[in-house]
Structures are given as C-alpha cells and as structure tokens.
Amino acid sequence: MKIAYQAWQFVVPAVAAGAAGLWLMGRPATVFPGASLSFLAFGFAAFAVYFFRDPERALPTDGRIYSPGDGVVLAVGREGPGDVVTARIFLSVFDVHIQRAPTAGRVTKVAVVPGSFAAAMKDAARGNSRVVMTIEPEGRGPLVVEQIAGLIARRIECWRKPGDMVAAGERYGIIYFGSQAAVHFPAGSRCTVKAGDRVAGGLTPIGEWTSKL
C-alpha cells in the first residue's frame, strides 16, 4: 500500500517521541511515564501511516461523474436557487483522505474560502474553511468540487491550479484528519446517489451527464 508523503511530518516526530519513551523506561524513576509516552507515540505513528494510505486505483474512462473521496453521502439536494444539486460526502478519520477529480476537464478556478471548523458530519460544516475547484469538461457545463476542512487538523492541500487538465479519478489533493467533500452538479447532469450511500474516490459513479452545451 502506498503511503502519501504527507504522513512523514507526523510519523517521524511520533517515532522520535516513542524512542524517547523507551529511553525513559530504562531509568527507574520514569518507567511508567516512559511506557505511556512510547505507547501513545508509536500508536499515533501507526495511525498516521494508516490515515495517509494512498491506494492505486484505475482511472475511469466511461464519462460518468465519480466520487471525489471515500466516505458516506451525507445529503443530496438543492442548497440555493437554480438547478444545481449538491452531494455532500463525509470522510471519517478511518477513510482514505486523498481527493480525486470527479470528471475529466480543464481546471478553470481554484479558490481558498476561509470559514469555520465545525465537525464535518454536521450541517454547520457548510460554512467551514474550504478549497473550491471548478472543472470544465469539453462540451459540458462547469462542475464544482469542494474540499472542506473538519474539526481537528483543519488543513487542506489542492495540487491543481487554473489551466491544468485533470482526468476523472486523478488525485488532486488531500484533507487532513476528518473532512467533507461536496460536488455541485450543474444543469445537464444528474446525481445518482442518495444519503447513506457508501462511496469510494474515483471508483464509485455518483452522477452522469444528461446533455451537452
């Protein structure tokens, strides 16, 4: 299993702390705190390796719209005026947190939107800090996908910039430690999942195009 390089900023200090705990265990007055430190530090290092796993997945080529991440669909519906339907996906700390492009096309906009840091499984997360990326597939309307920060680490990385071409299912970013992803389906498309469905980034189709521009 491939591990995203972002893991090492957490793993290396945790292993160092665990080693310090082992050293303390060799000193009679600090056996208990040393053992506790080692247990917690090595446990966190193992969790960080697990959290930042980055499985290889074949890129879909059938033209459908795919989930940008692994998790459970929280809600599907219109959130404002117009015909745009939004699907929101909750990524728990046990899910893969690499985001994948839901459709192929050209990236036309990447915007960082400041906000709050509510728990990602709640409605309040709609106002959380986020990165919003717009993709324009050839002959289709623009599709917007969001990376939304959660309560704990509050950090997002987006690796694409305006002008880049992306393939459906291609890795484009990562969110740290519990988060939410949202896909906004424009006119000429429809969402094919419902609240409660389990989805996987780049593997589960969540929508389809119904017409061209």
Residues with catalytic function:
179
- Structural contact between residues 92 and 102, judged by C-beta atoms closer than 8 angstroms: no
According to DSSP H, which parts of 8-110 are helical?
8-25, 31-51
- Long-range contact pairs involving 109-114 (C-beta distance under 8 Å, separation at least 24): 109/133, 109/134, 109/162, 110/134, 110/158, 110/160, 110/161, 110/162
Name the strands in the sheet holding 71-77, side by side, starting at the edge strand that comes first in the sequence.
165-166, 105-113, 130-136, 143-149, 179-185, 85-91, 71-77, 198-199
Strand pairing partners for 100?
171
Please state, in angstroms and rounded to a whole number, the distance separating the CA atoms of residues 195 and 106.
29
